[in-house]
Amino acid sequence: MTEKNTTDPSCVTRLHFHAKECIRSLAGKILSGDIPLDFRLWSGAGVAVVYRRPHRPPKLKEWYPDPRFLETRHAPQVSWIFEELWKGFHTFLDSKSKARFYERLTDAALSCSGTPEEKRDGKFSLSRQNLLLAILVEAVLFEQDLRTSSPAPSSLSSGETADTDRKLHARPETFLERRRFLEQVLAEVHPSGKNAG
């Protein structure tokens, strides 16, 4: 962390509250199906959200490495949630944790790609919600991990698969598990005894 002392209890509570309010707002929009679009596709923190991976001449790759491409037909929705999560989490992300944060969000999105059956049966709205919930759950898990430990900075170059420190908390795998997980997190009670929601 650059300027924040993560061991200060008031700082941890404040960060937790700020992140939780962001998560609450995003979860409400995703679960209601009222999902905004951001046609300015996300590109930052070593990740680019795209419809299709662009072709780059090999000579250009010598100058600048490619970012990690998150290829999805839901690129505007993923870009929206990446941007909103940046707004909700940027106050406690330094440059190293920001890169780890977006690596983990990308890993979650890639692990939740729609199955061929969903595509064939036309269940794209559910797969879109599931994709966005997977990203949102990963943001919650990252925030929890950040509060409970200080993982070593990632030494990956862009384009490599991240070992995303996913050891501290179990990751829900299905749409219903993700929904229950978020409901439980949003209903948590603070140590002071007051309901956080």
**What is the reported pLDDT for 9?**
43
| pLDDT tens readout for residues 109-168 | 998 865 444 444 555 555 899 999 999 999 999 988 888 875 444 433 334 444 445 445
For residue 35, the enclosing domain spans 9-186
State the chain's mean pLDDT as an integer: 76
**Token pair of 145 as six digits:** 């991990």
| pLDDT tens readout for residues 6-19 | 434 444 444 467 88
132 lies in a domain? yes
Q: Is the pLDDT of residue 191 over 60?
A: no
123 lies in a domain? yes
193 lies in a domain? no
192 lies in a domain? no
1 lies in a domain? no
**What is the reported pLDDT for 100?**
95
**Range 87-103 average pLDDT:** 91
Strand partners, 78: none
**142-181 burial by CB neighbour count: b if 16+ within 10 A, else e?**
bbebbbeeebeebebebeeebebbbeeeeebeebeebbeb
The residues, ordered by sequence, that sit 6+ positions from 71 with a Cβ below 8 Å of its Cβ are: 50, 51, 52, 53
**What is the reported pLDDT for 151?**
44
Count of domains for the chain:
1
**What is the reported pLDDT for 70?**
94
- Class of residue 104 by CB neighbours under 10 A (exposed 0-12, middle 13-18, buried 19+): buried
**Range 175-190 average pLDDT:** 83
4 lies in a domain? no
**What is the reported pLDDT for 20?**
86
Which region among 26-40, 42-56, 64-78, 165-179 has the lowest average model confidence (pLDDT)? 165-179
**What is the reported pLDDT for 36?**
93
**What is the reported pLDDT for 187?**
83
Q: In sequence order, what DSSP letters do the residues of 132-184 get, joined into one string?
A: HHHHHHHHHHHHHHHHH--PPPP-PPTTSPP---TTSSPPP-SHHHHHHHHHH
- Please, are residues 179 and 133 in contact by the beta-carbon 8 Å criterion? yes
155 lies in a domain? yes
Nearest Cα neighbor of 110 from 53, 61, 148 is 53
195 lies in a domain? no
Percent of the chain with pLDDT over 90: 44
Its sign, for the CA torsion 39, 44, 47, 48, is positive
**Range 81-108 average pLDDT:** 93
